[in-house]
Amino acid sequence: MARYFIYKSIIELRKIWAIVKKDRYDRFANELLDVLMRSWDENTRLVINEVIRQIKGEQVFSRTELDMIIEALKIRLGEAFANEVAQPLYETHLSTYIEGVKDVLQVTPTLQQIDHRAIAALQNHNIYWVHSFFDRQLADRVTRIGQTIIAEGLSRSKAGKIFESALSNELQQFSWRYWEGFANHVVTRSRELGHVDAYVQAGVEYYQVKAVLDLRTTEICRQMHGRVFHVSQAVELKNKLLNAQNPEEVKQIAPWMRADQVTGKPTSKLPNGLALPPYHFNCRTRTVKAKIPPKIAEIDLTAAGAGKLLKDSLSYVVNNQEQLSVKELKKLVTRVQGAGWDNMQAHFNKHKDEEFTQWKSVEEMNAQLMDLIRRGGRDIYLQLYLSKEPRIIFTDNRLFLSIDPVRNKIKTIFSLKRETIKALQSRNSKYILMKKGKTINKQLLWISKKLKNGSLRHL
């Protein structure tokens, strides 16, 4: 069908781009997608040629003919389709698993190092979704088309044209989207099981979740990005997945959760089903080996290299939504009390006449900001934007003071009663409220409302 050749061209371009990027996993996913779409297209055309185009004449289309079409589709797009793609699917599982092991060990695993039980379980679970796709996703759609035709009393000839058009257009588009997500899912799951076995063989203790952060990134992956798990958690999850009796049990063991179900929760409190991606259909998130940074209490902030240790420690705290101890928080606040400006006078000159500040001198500005840091009645947040330096934010709902504690520089001031504040409302940011031991959800909601009514401004 003509539309298939458009998909084929897109897949070929993606495969070339994957080679250019040296992204083996993208290449595996698109090679599998190519096989799936080619077989799906061929089996769909066989049904059109062998069954649908044989429905001719001006007699009224009947339920018997609808049942015949659905039965033919079930056979061709169920068992026949699954049999055709079974071997390429197995090869994708195996190749991706091996590459996952190589990611960590930097060598190709031997036959003895490959968990063939894992490959068999992946094949068993995923061939189920291949075999049952038509029944689960398309059978009802085809039935509804047929019921509409019957209700309108259309002829067999008109019915045949309607079915051919549906299978060649909207139903094929739907299938394309599904198989694209399915191919990425197969690669993600296979790769991560390879990673788990390699982590164990290499003696790795911890690993970190790494999302691909771009416009396509889902909120759940943004929330999981940067979180660190112990390898034993991944091993436990892997064993449960392999012992699952059927694909439905797999969904219970590793459910796909909404972002609001994990936002603000410490990694230690998350269900073990989140220890490994995929976190949703078509998930691109991966894992990499990691180390636990020292706690702030253990860092000598006057020593050489302390900035890097502090950055890693604070990033870990924010990514994993953990809490600093009172001792650590006091140590951090003490450090930023000495924070300086890159261009203090220029900033003062630009904003001294703001209605909400009305600073008369640089000294008054500094005194007000220092008071915000020192006194009670203000909240303290840690903020992490992408993988850049973390920020510590002080606010009393009147001023927001953002400081880079690594370089000990004042970065930004925000005041209320104005128009916008993008830095605290970014899809690529994570926050945690430290002083009260609560998350920033309510504060972000409050900020969002201020953004909408235009009463928040970036100085």
How crowded is residue 97: how many other Cβ atoms within 10 Å of its Cβ? 27
Whether the bond between 278 and the residue before it is cis, its omega within 30 degrees of 0, is yes
Q: Which of 235-249, 320-334, 387-401 has the highest mean pLDDT?
A: 235-249
Mean pLDDT of the 85-90 span:
98
Distance of CA 347 to the CA centre of its chain: 39
pLDDT at 302: 85
pLDDT band at 333 (very low <50, low <70, confident <90, very high): confident
Whether residue 20 is predicted with pLDDT greater than 90 in this model: the reply is: no
Alpha-carbon dihedral 419, 424, 429, 430, rounded to 10 degrees = -150
Whether residue 446 is predicted with pLDDT greater than 50 in this model: the reply is: no
3-class DSSP assignment, residue 320:
coil
Question: Angle CA(282)–CA(283)–CA(287) in degrees, nearest 5?
Answer: 155
Question: How far apart (Å, rounded) are the C-alpha atoms in residues 427 and 218?
Answer: 10
Question: How far apart (Å, rounded) are the C-alpha atoms in residues 214 and 225?
Answer: 12
pLDDT at 443: 47
Strand order in the sheet with 399-404: 429-433, 379-385, 391-395, 399-404, 409-416, 456-458
Mean pLDDT of the chain: 84
Task: Please state the domain extents for the chain.
Answer: 2-200, 204-292, 297-458
Return phi, psi of residue 229, to 5°: -120, 155
pLDDT at 325: 85
Question: Angle CA(13)–CA(14)–CA(15) in degrees, nearest 5?
Answer: 90
pLDDT at 327: 87
399 and 415 Cβ atoms separated by less than 8 Å: yes
Whether residue 458 is predicted with pLDDT greater than 50 in this model: the reply is: no
3-class DSSP assignment, residue 434:
coil
Question: How far apart (Å, rounded) are the C-alpha atoms in residues 42 and 81?
Answer: 9
Q: Considering the chain, what percentage of its residues have pLDDT values greater than 70?
A: 84
Strand partners, 241: none
Whether residue 376 is predicted with pLDDT greater than 90 in this model: the reply is: no
pLDDT at 270: 96
Question: How far apart (Å, rounded) are the C-alpha atoms in residues 184 and 282?
Answer: 5
Closest residue by Cα to residue 297 from 339, 326, 266: 326
Mean pLDDT of the 41-54 span:
90
pLDDT at 387: 57
pLDDT per position as a tens digit, 187-221: 999 999 999 999 999 999 999 999 988 888 899 99
pLDDT per position as a tens digit, 162-181: 999 999 888 988 999 999 99
Whether residue 455 is predicted with pLDDT greater than 50 in this model: the reply is: no
pLDDT at 353: 67
Question: How far apart (Å, rounded) are the C-alpha atoms in residues 430 and 225?
Answer: 10
pLDDT per position as a tens digit, 293-308: 999 999 998 888 888 9
Cα-trace Rg, the chain: 28
pLDDT at 351: 63
